[in-house]
Amino acid sequence: MNVVLLKAGLQAARGAGAVICRGYRHLEDGDIQRKGKNDFVTRVDLEAEIAIKKVIGRNFPDHCILAEESGYSMNKSEFLWVIDPLDGTTNFIHGIPHFAVSMALLKNRQVIFGLIYEPLSRDRFHAFPSQGAFLNDKPIKVSLTVTLADALGATGFPFKAPAQRPAYARTFKSLLDQCKDMRRCGAAALDLAYVACGRYDFFWEAHLLPWDFLAGKLIVEEAGGITSDFAGKELAVGTSTVIAANKNLYQELLKEIRTFFK
């Protein structure tokens, strides 16, 4: 089954990636729509999502789909695909080469397959439960960094949630004062993938949606890391806050973040 899932997932991700690469730096004004304040969707997002859903529908017609742009499909199933056809849309619009396709498959609410694909580099991160995490089929592990002072972190601004900004700003200042440095690159799925392969030591963000993090959750955990929300609870479809880190840093980060996010 895993071989079938990986083959179909890669086919879907690469199909979406081809759409994304064709549209990259070739958008026209009419290709961009505003969904809300600081929230955009492009023609490419929609076309990439269609490409993914066609592959899933052809291979797994009984599975349900939750997609960023179109919401839930009508199927009722123990299997649920949660997909983001283009994580990092703002980067994409501005010609910044940092975005990805993110896909997670849940069975009875548990993630059983995660795939994150970078269209420009063609790097692919994937994981299945109890089988490890992989970058281009090579095993990956989270970093071994022991202290926050030696850690490089990543985060994302809660630009859609103004009420969370004061707590976020206080947390950001506290962590930045203690760690080596932090990055804010604008694609949560890639931030999680980079934690999984040790490029970052930790990641945290205060306002996310399930298609942003469910694939990355499994990949980080299978790479030896820990994920949770800001309360220390398991990440799920209804979660909106995310921490991911290696086992040496996780408890310290959780304690620090919970100081500001009650």
Nearest-angstrom CA–CA distance, 78 and 237:
14
3-state helix vs strand vs coil in the chain, percent to 5: 40, 25, 35
**Domain CATH for 171:** 3.40.190.80
pLDDT of 38: 61
- By the 8 A CB rule, do 231 and 90 touch? no
- By the 8 A CB rule, do 115 and 124 touch? yes
Same domain, 113 and 155: no
pLDDT of 41: 84
Same domain, 136 and 9: yes
**Domain CATH for 22:** 3.30.540.10
Same domain, 100 and 160: no
Rg of the chain taking only CA atoms, in angstroms: 17
Answer with the one of 78, 108, 140 that is the final residue of a domain.
140
**Is the torsion defined by CA of 209, 213, 217, 218 positive or negative?**
positive
- Could you report the per-residue pLDDT of 137-188, keeping only the tens digit for each? 999 999 999 999 999 999 999 888 888 999 999 999 999 999 999 999 999 9
Q: How many structural domains compose the chain?
A: 2
Same domain, 24 and 129: yes
Report the DSSP beta bridge partners of residue 155. 204
Phi, psi (degrees; rounded to nearest 5) at 85: -70, -20
Same domain, 116 and 173: no
pLDDT of 40: 77
Answer with the one of 140, 165, 185 that is the final residue of a domain.
140
Same domain, 61 and 89: yes
| Positions of the chain with pLDDT lower than 50, given as ranges | none
pLDDT of 71: 82
CA distances from 200 to 32, 130, 149, 196, 260 (A): 32, 22, 13, 8, 22
pLDDT of 37: 65
Same domain, 153 and 202: yes
Same domain, 89 and 196: no
Same domain, 252 and 177: yes
Residue with tokens 């955009």: 40
Task: Give the residue numbers spanning the domain of 240.
Answer: 148-260
Alpha carbon dihedral 136, 195, 247, 113, in 10-degree steps, equals -50
Same domain, 126 and 223: no
Same domain, 119 and 155: no
Same domain, 157 and 125: no
Nearest-angstrom CA–CA distance, 61 and 229:
32
Count other Cβ atoms within 10 Å, centred on residue 142. Answer: 28
Q: Is the pTM of this model over 0.85?
A: yes
- Cite the DSSP H helix spans in 1-150: 2-23, 43-59, 89-93
pLDDT of 34: 80
Answer with the one of 85, 116, 140 that is the final residue of a domain.
140
